[in-house]
């Protein structure tokens, strides 16, 4: 609803955990890339653009992302940790 802060604004100064990011649509990947590159965005219902607040984005997936995630988005994720299954 109009006037409700979005998730990025509510998480300002904190972090957002994005699980199974290999399942993100190509359109959503572009939006996330814009957020990571600190480009302005326009919240739904807003008349003006604003910059993304200081938010850490944490991504996780349990499968290989090759061919599923844009290479420019993968390059912006600065730390990649591959962990073996705990089983």
Strand blocks (E) in the chain: 15-19, 56-60
Residue 24 pLDDT class (50, 70, 90 cuts):
very high
Kindly tell me if the per-residue pLDDT of 2 is higher than 70. Answer: no
Q: Averaged over 34-49, what is the pLDDT?
A: 80
Rounded to an integer, what distance in angstroms lies between the CA atom of residue 1 and that of residue 45?
A: 8
**How confident is the prediction for the chain on average, in pLDDT?**
84
pTM of the model: 0.74
Residue with more model confidence, 8 or 43 = 8
Exposure string for 17-35, b = 16+ CB within 10 A, e = fewer: eeeebbebeeeebeebbeb
In sequence order, what are the beta bridge partners of 29? none
Residue 1 pLDDT class (50, 70, 90 cuts):
low
């Amino acid at each position: 609803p109009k006037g409700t802060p979005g998730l990025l604004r509510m998480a300002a100064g904190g972090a957002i955990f994005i699980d199974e990011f290999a399942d993100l649509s190509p359109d959503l990947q572009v939006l996330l890339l814009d957020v990571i590159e600190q480009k302005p965005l326009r919240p739904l219902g807003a008349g003006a653009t604003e910059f993304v607040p200081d938010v850490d984005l944490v991504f996780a997936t349990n499968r290989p992302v090759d061919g599923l995630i844009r290479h420019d988005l993968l390059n912006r994720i600065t730390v990649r940790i591959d962990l073996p299954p705990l089983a």
